[in-house]
Amino acid sequence: MTVRKLPPDTIERIAAGEVVTRPASVVKELVENSLDAGATRIDVSVDGDGTERVRVADDGRGMSEADAELAVEHHTTSKLGEAADIERVDTLGFRGEALPSIAATATLEITTNDGDVRGTRVLVEGGEKSVRPAGRAVGTTVEVRDLFHNRPARRKSLSSAKAEFGRVSDVVTRYALARPDVHFSLSHDGREVFATPGSETYTDAVLGVYDRSVAGQSTEIDYRSTFDLDGRDRPLRVEGLLVYPSITRATREHVYAAVNRRAVYDATIRRATVAGYGSLLPSGRYPIAVVSVSLPPEAVDANVHPAKDEVAFVDEDAVADAVERAVDEALTTADLRRSAEIAVDLDSSLEAVGGDSRFGDVAVIGQYRGLYLLCEADDDLLVVDQHAAHERINYERLRDALRGEAVESHPVDPPKAVALSPSEAAVVEDNRETLSRLGFEVSAFGGRAYRIEGVPAPLGRVADVGSFRDALDALAAGEDPENAREELLKDLACHPSLKAGDALDRETATDLVERLGACERPYACPHGRPTVLSIGEETFVRGFEREHRRLG
């Protein structure tokens, strides 16, 4: 499609606002143009804070001389057809405003070739446009120099070079993760900061942006469902990658959202992703995840934000539900067992396990250092952290108990007298029923003196009396009773759990592993730490150089 000027009525309908506010917004517009041009490889390089020089080179379809000359004019685009339907765009750009906005406040040089014998160079400097032939392979390089040279106030409002480059890096990261099928590289002052291979897998993209330790502890998602739009069933797909909750961050910034392959800061997707992790996340911590939602273009409005950083969904709840379910299912069924060195695909062996427990076919070989259970599972050696495993089991039992029956209580004999502060006493009085359902039997005997007559004994292990104060703290701390209860459950789950050095006979150990396998989320303790590591046989084959021996 060729570049042409948008009709005036379309121009009036596009979300107004400044497109170019800082170097990162220049990079974003250029990268989006490269993606719209079908690039499979995009190299971004930045000097200083980005006002000095930004360059984006791609291997997309390029532009003819006529198109390149027109593209730098206002409201010229090749992306909206005759009908100019901005309600259902399937390109990232559609306003024809980026290149002219950049040219108005910088030196803009475009070198491009759409497959002709020679390419074209368009230079806009100080508002003057010049066009001449230039050599270039098919694709486009856009270089922006001296940004905001004629807008000193804007230039002054920028942050440090480090901070501005950080924003550029964020933009490239978001697209590199939204488009694992495209090779991205980012360089700063001549040094490569990161690169992704464009291999199509989210794991490889995360490996490029983060590192091995993060990418190696993750699971990919691909979830499909439908939702109702004007009485018709329409498809909705959720793809991406979830990093296991043993690695978390203090903010939601590491939840990368994309909608129809557009990188967006979408609160709905971020919230639903966090909700999908649920109790696997330690409180106040957020996951690292890439969540890419695809749905028919008419179910999304991309024209709500001048920088196109946000979109509006026709049915936001349908999107939130699907994302939460996709994340929850992936984490529940995913193999959260950490694999040492080599990624081992245990999905198939997991599916083969019948009955209630996912570890039904696991044989406990022994115990190591009084801390870990070593187990044989098909071709792998499983190492179970018995304390973490016990916490997970207790947590799920307690949670279920709170839903339904009360937790077993173990009598404290003789009862233990405690003097409570006025606020602690108030917590006891306000939460008598909750405490009793949790297994605490408490009676008042004058003033603020109480007697603890029973403590929780989930799984036959008796909580110590000190857990009572923890329970009161948890109940007092959370303004939201749901959160308070979650915290309480996690702490309680921890209290009577097996401690380091507890010897377990084989029967008890087998029982523990089986109970763990029967948990809803067996692979992480309530605080998000892993419960099981798996070491594939390949590790040993490699370590003992058996392959060589076989060959030799």
- For binding to Mg ion (CB under 5 A), which residues are involved? 33, 93, 98
In the complex, which residue's CB is closest to Mg ion?
93
In sequence order, the β-bridge partners of residue 145 are 53, 107
Decide if 270 contacts 257 (C-beta within 8 A): yes
Q: Which two tokens stand for residue 533?
A: 């590591």
Residue 63 makes contact with ligand ADP by CB under 6 A: yes
Q: What are phi and psi of 354, to 5 degrees?
A: -90, -175
Residue 254 makes contact with ligand ADP by CB under 6 A: no
Nearer to ligand ADP, 58 or 514 (CB): 58
Residue 60 makes contact with ligand ADP by CB under 6 A: yes
| Torsion (CA) 186, 28, 326, 295 in degrees, nearest 10 | -140
Residue 3 makes contact with ligand ADP by CB under 6 A: yes
Shortest gap between Cβ of 154 and ligand ADP (angstroms)?
19
107-113 and 139-145 strand pairing:
antiparallel
| Residue range at the interface with ligand ADP (CB under 6 A); choices 33-41, 193-201, 405-413, 490-498 | 33-41
| Residue range at the interface with ligand ADP (CB under 6 A); choices 71-79, 285-293, 328-336, 467-475 | 71-79
In the complex, which residue's CB is closest to ligand ADP?
93
Nearer to ligand ADP, 61 or 448 (CB): 61
Shortest gap between Cβ of 124 and ligand ADP (angstroms)?
12
| Residue range at the interface with ligand ADP (CB under 6 A); choices 54-62, 341-349, 483-491, 525-533 | 54-62
Residue 98 makes contact with ligand ADP by CB under 6 A: yes
Q: What are phi and psi of 323, to 5 degrees?
A: -65, -45
| Residue range at the interface with ligand ADP (CB under 6 A); choices 70-78, 294-302, 389-397, 494-502 | 70-78
Place of tokens 């502060």: 421
d(Cα 308, Cα 301) in Å, to the nearest integer? 10
Distances (CA, A) of 198 to 219, 242, 260: 18, 19, 18
Query: Please, where are the H alpha helices in 143-190?
Result: 152-156, 161-178
Residue 175 makes contact with ligand ADP by CB under 6 A: no
Decide if 428 contacts 450 (C-beta within 8 A): yes
Residues numbered 362 to 401 that lie near ligand ADP (CB under 6 A) are none
d(Cα 52, Cα 144) in Å, to the nearest integer? 8
Cis bond upstream, residue 414 (ω within 30): yes
d(Cα 218, Cα 209) in Å, to the nearest integer? 14
37 binds, among ligand ADP, Mg ion, none (CB under 5 to 8 A by kind): ligand ADP
Residue 34 makes contact with ligand ADP by CB under 6 A: yes
Residue 58 makes contact with ligand ADP by CB under 6 A: yes
Nearer to ligand ADP, 55 or 358 (CB): 55
Shortest gap between Cβ of 58 and ligand ADP (angstroms)?
5
Decide if 343 contacts 493 (C-beta within 8 A): no
Residue 119 makes contact with ligand ADP by CB under 6 A: no
Residue 20 makes contact with ligand ADP by CB under 6 A: no
Residue 289 makes contact with ligand ADP by CB under 6 A: no
Residue 99 makes contact with ligand ADP by CB under 6 A: yes
What is the three-class DSSP state of 220? strand
Nearer to ligand ADP, 98 or 493 (CB): 98
Neighbours of 445 (CB within 10 A): 9
Q: Which residues contact 544 (CB under 8 A, 6 or more apart)?
A: none
Nearer to Mg ion, 142 or 435 (CB): 142
What is the three-class DSSP state of 393? helix
- Angle (CA) 502-503-507 rounded to 5° is 125
Residue 113 makes contact with ligand ADP by CB under 6 A: no
Residue 71 makes contact with ligand ADP by CB under 6 A: yes
Residue 161 makes contact with ligand ADP by CB under 6 A: no
> Which member of 94, 223, 372, 440 binds ligand ADP (CB under 6 A)?
94
Decide if 114 contacts 63 (C-beta within 8 A): yes
Judged on CB neighbours under 10 Å (0-12, 13-18, 19+), 287 is: buried
Nearer to ligand ADP, 34 or 279 (CB): 34
Shortest gap between Cβ of 74 and ligand ADP (angstroms)?
9
Residue 105 makes contact with ligand ADP by CB under 6 A: no
59 binds, among Mg ion, ligand ADP, none (CB under 5 to 8 A by kind): none
Nearer to ligand ADP, 76 or 260 (CB): 76
Shortest gap between Cβ of 46 and Mg ion (angstroms)?
19
> Which member of 28, 53, 55, 79 binds ligand ADP (CB under 6 A)?
79
d(Cα 19, Cα 29) in Å, to the nearest integer? 8
Q: Which residues contact 371 (CB under 8 A, 6 or more apart)?
A: 385, 386, 387, 500, 501
| Residue range at the interface with ligand ADP (CB under 6 A); choices 30-38, 246-254, 374-382, 470-478 | 30-38
- Angle (CA) 492-333-489 rounded to 5° is 10
Q: Which two tokens stand for residue 438?
A: 């949790």
Nearer to Mg ion, 101 or 339 (CB): 101
Q: Catalog residues that contact ligand ADP under the rule CB under 6 A.
A: 3, 29, 33-34, 37, 58, 60-63, 67, 71, 76-79, 93-99, 140
